[in-house]
Amino acid sequence: PWEVPYLPIDPADLGRSYASVIRVNSQSGKGGVAWMLESAYGISLPRRMQIDFSQVVQKRADESGQELAADALWGLWLRSYQPQSRVRVERHRVQDDGAMQRVELVLEVDGQRRTVHGAGRGPIEAAVSALREGLGWPVDVMHFEEHGLSGGSDAQAVAIVETAWAGRSGSRFGVGLHENTLSSALAAVVHSATAWLEAGEPAHP
């Protein structure tokens, strides 16, 4: 039998999912926010990102005075971790060179086109090298993971990157969403670095 006291009927009996009828508000904890994204989209947030995003959700819910359904939560998550006001990825190219991979990133940084190159043992390390050497951004990847996105007709990959910035405490997160796993990973690295710029770091040290 259906035994959830605050829902008088099993949503499945109405052809709806549990996540579709649940809302979060300013009082919802990080666990509830993370559960909704995982249930609706198959995204399992890293613990530190759960804490960070729950604060974003609380602020939005306080400002709007409204509860957030899963689709609104998803949109807020993407907007929060795909900052594009200062940096935009135009294109990229990756080349295998034996044990190393070389990356070329073409970016628009504060309205200026910049082409940077880096090398590493994988595309993530190579992208970080490109940002450090080409732009002087002292970022390091602390955590990376990738998920297949559920809940949609098109197969897409969601990459989550957490970076540190030399000389600064804390971390910043970035998300990449693309049908190509490499594209989503590189975008997540750039978005995480961009979050540091929006937090006050200079784009041109």
What is the domain partition of the chain in residue ranges? Answer: 11-81, 87-198
For 4-67, where are the E strands, in sequence order? none
**125, 100 Cβ separation under 8 angstroms:** no
Angle at 110 between CA 49 and CA 121, to 5 degrees: 55
List, in order, residues 6 or more apart from 72 with CB less than 8 Å away.
none
Q: What global pTM score does this model have?
A: 0.83
Q: How far apart are CA 104 and CA 187, in angstroms?
A: 13
List, in order, residues 6 or more apart from 57 with CB less than 8 Å away.
24, 26, 28, 33, 68, 73, 76
Q: What is the pLDDT along the chain (205 residues), one digit of tens a residue?
A: 434 343 444 444 444 444 454 556 556 656 778 888 888 888 899 999 999 999 999 898 888 887 788 888 999 999 999 998 899 999 999 999 888 999 999 999 999 999 999 999 999 999 999 999 999 999 999 999 998 886 554 678 999 999 999 999 999 999 999 999 999 999 999 999 999 998 887 676 5
Strand, coil or helix: what is 128?
Answer: helix
Domain range 87-198, CATH class: alpha beta
